[in-house]
Structure 1
């Protein structure tokens, strides 16, 4: 309210507000698809949990808009990766990462067919460094 009457400053603030609105909308859209995938996984009996982004936004921040996120990370038992990948594909996503590397890292990157800015990451292990994983 007490900002100087500076056109450049007001333009910069307007741009930042627009960016924040887009980031919040993207997070909401990701949350919708994450919830949809979680319901489909549960229907197939695949135990899974959403981790990181939306969980941090909900548990650590007063307002979800204070912690936008750019993907949904889903953690499953490594033995369930195949079934979980099938479910995500059935939900309208296509594999966006190399299959061999994905299996090695136990991390599969899925992109929504109609909107490739929507990224779902399926993890069988949150430790990606294979040396650390062995320890």
Structure 2
């Protein structure tokens, strides 16, 4: 991974502004469980569905709509389709989790520290049960000195097909829903590529549990800095949702509090404040940092 550069906070991709679809996406990104949805009368469901699919938030949308009032105006076929979307993603995530457990176990057997990053790491930690966090591959952080050895381990486990990048490998699963699984090996985080920082982050990993074998994930402060820097470098709705869920219960990690965040991560706060101003203020992580979060 190239060393991060200091990004300029940007505007999230379309739809943007004050339109109903953007309002719905901001509602999905808001981590507070008691947040009211936008006025239903102003939301064209078709446009919102399209926007949520493009933003990789359609499972969150489905979960919130299905968990809403019974008289929310959803037809029985629509409820069925939304339920199928969530169930399909749940199976997708379970398959990836099983592969991640297998890989982490093999790397641990070679005494290689590793952390699971991004979508898979966030799925069980930041979101309600049910596979609501959508992602496409397994992201693994390793020490730069272990990268080639980690790729060798992937090859031994059947990951021999080249992927999108030089350090991405894929394998066929034979599963009709998820025919391939991709693994991306990285040696840097959103806010740092310094080998000493990476080794320190790997030493601070925590065990994430999901009712089975735990996976190693970044400590929350490291995960927050990583997510904020990624959000600043590439503003996306799914990244906004992740960063908001990491930031809400972490007032001690706000800019100027305690150990300062890297500049790249500080830029992510500007993105959070710009798009979720009712949650994140200019002086703290959240106006209601202890009002609860969608997590388990």
Q: TM class by shorter-chain length?
A: 0.7 to 0.9
Residues 21-100 of structure 1 mapped to structure 2, 5 A cutoff: 21-97=87-163
What's the counterpart of residue 71 of structure 2? Answer: 2
2:188 to 120, 125, 133: 125
Does structure 1 residue 12 correspond to structure 2 residue 101? no
Matched residue pairs, number? Answer: 120
Match of 2:171 among 112, 130, 133: 112
Which digits, 9 at most, give the CA deviation of each residue in 1:31-90, with x for residues without a partner?
000010000001011111111112212221232523233221100011111100000111
- 1:85-135 deviation digits (Å, cap 9, x = unpaired): 00011111123237xx62xxxxx22212335431211112235xx9x9xx9
Given that residues 173 and 180 in structure 2 are in contact (C-alpha distance below 8 angstroms), is that contact kept between their aligned partners in structure 1? no
| SS of corresponding position for 1:121 | strand
Q: Which runs of 5+ in 2 are unaligned?
A: 1-69, 194-232, 234-263, 265-296
Structure with the bigger percentage of helix: 1
Q: Which runs of no fewer than 5 residues in structure 1 stay unpaired?
A: 103-107
Stretch moving more, 114-123 or 20-29? 114-123
Partner of 1:105: none
Secondary structure in 1 matching 2:180: coil
SS at match of 1:65: coil
For residue 3 of structure 1, report the CA deviation from its aligned partner.
5.2
Provide TM-score, normalisation by structure 1. 0.75
Root-mean-square deviation (CA), in Å? 2.6
